[in-house]
Amino acid sequence: MRKKPLLTTVLLTLFTFQLSLQVAADSDYKAPRGPGGVNPDLNGIWQALGEAHFDLERHMARASMALREAPLGPVPAKRAVAFGAVGSVPPGLGVVEGGKIPYKAEALKIRDENRKNWLDRDPEIKCYLPGVPRATYMPYPFQILQGDKDLFISYQYASAARSIYSEDPGPAPIDTWMGQSVASWDGDTLVLDVTGLHPGTWLDRAGNHHSDQLHVIERYTPMGPNHLKYEATIEDPQVYTRPWKISLPLYRRMEADFQILDFKCVEFVEELLYGQWRRNPLD
């Protein structure tokens, strides 16, 4: 009877040792050089796994607030239950360092209202471009195209794209859905300084939001041949009490001949947005 606790201790020790070796191996990884032979090669198609898309913070499984409190928008109360598990939010450990987004009191109330009215308010449902950092951890692949000096990121969702500046052009002339990104390198880490972000984007499906003062610093670090460490420091003095940070891994898509496909979702939301003005409404 005494052997079982001992065996468990041994197995946990071996697992911890193996994990520490893996972490050490990741930290010592030296990525192959990319075009120009100076910086690491980040070319490839990448995708996040996990629940950050639903809610950046740690959360338990729950029914969608919008479905519980229907009628909202196009989903009347009698149809809300039809979504079943598809309309639920899976549990997640969260990707916010420290656990909670440091909202100001009034901004937190807006987040809670957004969550209750998700079906009406979430810009993803309307096929608006997702913004930064949300585009990175949506459940769709994206491609980094890296040249000697140029960088371009193409996203499958809504055919979103980012042309990355290699030199700072100065303040963005207008706010846009994907913002203005300026690249630099910190050793083997690609750093993107993102400003000029439209305030209409959200950070996830849980209603986490920002203002037009949003400033994001992204970091992409190769940790092995097929995964990157993604970090984003988020600052917005109108909405948050201090800057805060998220971190998560990104994985290379390994399927043979894998490619970014068209997901032009505008055609799927025309009825949602404009159906009320039909001369002859659909049944």
- pLDDT tens-digit map of 187-233: 999 999 999 999 999 999 999 999 999 999 999 999 999 999 999 99
The overall average pLDDT reported for the chain is 88
CA distance 17 to 24: 11
Which pLDDT value is given to residue 26? Answer: 57
Q: For the segment 13-67, what is each residue's pLDDT rounded down to a tens digit?
A: 666 656 555 544 556 899 999 999 999 999 999 999 999 999 999 999 998 766 6
DSSP assignment of 195-239 equals E-B-TT--SSTT-----TT-EEEEEEEEEETTEEEEEEEEE-TTT
Q: pTM score, two decimals?
A: 0.85
Smallest CA-to-CA distance from 114 within 76, 65, 73, 68 is with 65
Q: Please list the alpha-helical segments (H only) found in 64-128.
A: 65-68, 77-80, 105-116, 118-121
Name all domains of the chain by residue range, CATH numbers in brackets.
Answer: 40-79+89-276 (2.40.128.20)
Would you tell me how many other CB atoms lie within 10 Å of the CB of residue 96? 19
